[in-house]
Amino acid sequence: MSSADFQPKIVGFLCNWCSYAGADLAGTSRTKYEPSIRIIRVMCSGRVDPTFVLEAFNRGADGVCVIGCHFGDCHYLEGNYKAARRMELLKNMLKQFGIEEGRFRFDMASASEGDRFAQIVNEMTEEVKKLGPYVKYEGAIS
């Protein structure tokens, strides 16, 4: 597949209060962004277990992003700090698993930042396009 035809599948875990609202805003205000993202709404970025991210890759995502509120804005006060710690370690770990850095991103967007949301999606899509599809390797097992 040439990179031009490749439409990446990006799974985005968005927190209900800020980033999902931001995505909504991007939609209602007709901000243009790549149709690559599949949004999964979670109550808070602190609710995103690393298992979700791993499972997304396992089920065929070419990239995964987790987007929460800005620090200080989390509806549950500490949730996004928690996420920041987990996602940092997860990022290091994915690298060791041979999953390129560009395929995973933890970021923040507020309810009023529809543009920022669109920008995150566009940037990621472009990077993942460069990387190509995520093809699971298993090698010979029979």
Partner 1 sequence: MAKLKVAGYWASSCGGCEIATLEIGANIVKLAELADIVFWPCIVDGKYKDVEAMTDGEIDLCLFNGAIQNEENEHQAKVLRAKSKVMVAYGSCSYEGCIPGLANVANQEQIFDRVFVSCPSVDNPDKVIPQTSYQAPEGELTLPKIYDTVRPLAAVIDVDYFVPGCPPTGEQTWAVLEAVVTGNLPAKGSIVGAGTRALCDECKRNKEEKKVKKFYRTHQIMPDPDRCLLEQGLLCAGLATREGCGALCPAAGMPCTGCYGPPDGVVDQGAKFMSAVASIVDSNDPAEIAVILDDIKDPIGTFYRYSLPSSILRRVQIK
Q: Which residues bind ligand FES (CB under 6 A)?
A: 15, 17-18, 44-46, 68-69, 74-76, 79-80
Binding mask 91-110 for partner 1 (x = CB under 8 A): -xx--xxxx-----------
Supply the minimum distance, in Å, between the C-beta of residue 123 and partner 1: 19
Q: Which residues contact 10 (CB under 8 A, 6 or more apart)?
A: 36, 37, 38, 61, 62, 63, 64, 65, 121, 124, 125, 128
Q: 10 vs 87, which CB is nearer to ligand FES?
A: 87
> What's the CA gap between 68 and 120, in Å, rounded?
12
The residue from 29, 38, 55, 101 that contacts partner 1 (CB under 8 A) is: 55
29 burial via Cβ count (<10 Å: 0-12, 13-18, 19+): exposed
**Binding interface with partner 1 (CB under 8 A):** 49-51, 54-55, 57-58, 71, 81-82, 84-86, 88-90, 92-93, 96-99, 136-142
